[in-house]
């Protein structure tokens, strides 16, 4: 097998493992099947499976624990994100781009929440806010993006949040009233007011 074909086969195995993880509903902390089980299930050689797993481990997506097996890691602990952010955030324009992109996702989540209105879910979020569940803004906005019910949107937001974390832009929530006003605007299905109050919360108003 030539190098090009070998690389293609290797990438295919990585994709098959990723698809298997998705099909089996595996989440962070779950144990992956053994090399032998993966080889049998994917109908490939164990050495090929071992190579694919090694690459995933080098990327920080899985971890091998001696005597226990191989487990899925939380991508938020992905060292590559931390490494890249130290370079990406050197540029002032890129810093601003990261924050703008994060805000665009949050605003789109607000639009989706109002478009697919679910009063019970929003009232539950309001009760959590009133109980002091959220310490910093990003804890609160994680819930907002999650309410969009778009898993890919949430994953992108989480990744961008990790890039933005060195900027320390997520403030502690001290006064609940602005956040409650924001939630009440969503409950009233008032998109323009919700976006305006969002801008005030994020200090984005000009």
C-beta of residue 12 within 8 angstroms of C-beta of residue 50: no
* Entry pTM: 0.59
Quick check: do 3-73 and 79-201 share a fold?
no
Q: Does domain 3-73 have CATH number 1.10.10.10?
A: yes
pLDDT at residue 92, as a whole number: 66
* CA separation for the pair 64, 58 (Å, rounded): 11
All structural domains of the chain with their residue ranges: 3-73, 79-201
pLDDT at residue 166, as a whole number: 65
* CA separation for the pair 192, 196 (Å, rounded): 6
pLDDT < 50 positions in the chain: 1-5, 83, 87, 204-206
Closest CA to 138 of 113, 111, 163: 163
pLDDT at residue 204, as a whole number: 47
Closest CA to 122 of 171, 53, 189, 169: 189
Instruction: Please write the tens of the pLDDT for every residue from 74-110.
Output: 655 555 555 455 545 555 666 778 888 899 999 999 9
Q: Does domain 79-201 have CATH number 3.30.465?
A: no
For residue 72, give the 3-state DSSP assignment: strand
* CA separation for the pair 201, 206 (Å, rounded): 13
* CA separation for the pair 189, 75 (Å, rounded): 34
C-beta of residue 148 within 8 angstroms of C-beta of residue 112: yes
């Amino acid at each position: 097998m030539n190098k090009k074909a070998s690389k293609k086969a290797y990438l295919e195995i990585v994709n098959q493992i990723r698809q298997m993880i998705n099909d089996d509903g595996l989440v962070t902390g779950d144990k992956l099947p053994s090399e032998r089980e993966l080889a049998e299930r994917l109908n490939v050689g164990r050495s090929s499976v071992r190579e694919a797993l090694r690459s995933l481990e080098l990327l920080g997506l899985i971890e091998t624990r001696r005597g226990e097996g191989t487990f899925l890691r939380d991508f938020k602990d992905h060292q590559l994100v931390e490494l890249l952010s130290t370079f990406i955030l050197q540029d002032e324009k890129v810093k601003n781009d990261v924050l703008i992109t994060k805000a665009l996702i949050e605003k789109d989540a607000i639009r989706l929440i109002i478009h697919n209105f679910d009063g019970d879910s929003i009232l539950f979020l309001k009760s959590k806010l009133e109980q002091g569940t959220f310490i910093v803004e990003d804890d609160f906005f994680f819930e907002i993006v999650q309410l969009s019910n778009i898993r890919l949107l949430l994953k992108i937001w989480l990744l961008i949040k990790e890039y933005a974390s060195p900027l320390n832009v997520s403030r502690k929530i001290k006064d609940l009233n602005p956040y409650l006003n924001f939630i009440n605007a969503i409950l009233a299905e008032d998109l323009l007011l919700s976006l305006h109050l969002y801008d005030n919360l994020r200090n984005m108003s000009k």
